[in-house]
Amino acid sequence: MGFISNLLERRKAPERPAALDVEPGENIVLAPVSGRVEGVETLPDPVFAGEVMGRTLAIWPSEGRLFSPVSGTVVSAMPHAVGIAGDDGVEVLIHVGIDTVEMAGDGFTLFAGKGDHVRAGEPLMCFDREKIQAAGHHDVIMTIVTNSDEYPEAAVVATDTVTAGSAGIKTK
């Protein structure tokens, strides 16, 4: 390949992955990525580590594909984060990385926008783990139940290593 072909190939956006074949079950927020689960208290950000925004599942991803953890309506879509109002009332924010807002969208490809209805397991975005790390950021994925006060018994049920689409947080 020549220089121009190589340059164009590097700029090509990732293809939309196929949706996961999942049935989340009642009161379950799915893991949006595959990877290693870690306790939030170890996160290098006090807001996420302190679960200030709500009950949080932290996953260090093994790949750069993010899937919807619930069925619902996208209420916010930024290059590095997606908020979803679940059909069952749960409100979820999926945040890719720490301080990745500083990347201004570089390395992120969204597949859903504000107002879209998504199904659990539908692809939301792809992200470039190498770009995130090269920019000096952590690529940990936080899945946050932002209305945790409505689910006082919400608990992280994922442990060790998870696969995207497996149970992540039980809300009741």
95 is catalytic: yes
User: What is the rounded CA–CA span in Å between residue 106 and residue 120?
Assistant: 26
User: What is the rounded CA–CA span in Å between residue 147 and residue 166?
Assistant: 21
User: What is the rounded CA–CA span in Å between residue 150 and residue 124?
Assistant: 25
- Under DSSP, the state recorded for 129 is H
- Residue of 80, 95, 117, 138 with catalytic role: 95
Q: What type of residue sits at position 38?
A: E
Q: What type of residue sits at position 145?
A: V
| Cβ 32 vs Cβ 19: under 8 Å | no
Residue 30 makes CB contacts below 8 A (sequence gap 6+) with 22, 24, 67, 68, 69, 70, 120, 121, 164, 165, 166, 167, 168
Question: What is the dihedral angle through the alpha carbons of 150, 30, 65, 68, rounded to the nearest 10 degrees?
Answer: -60
Catalytic residues: 95
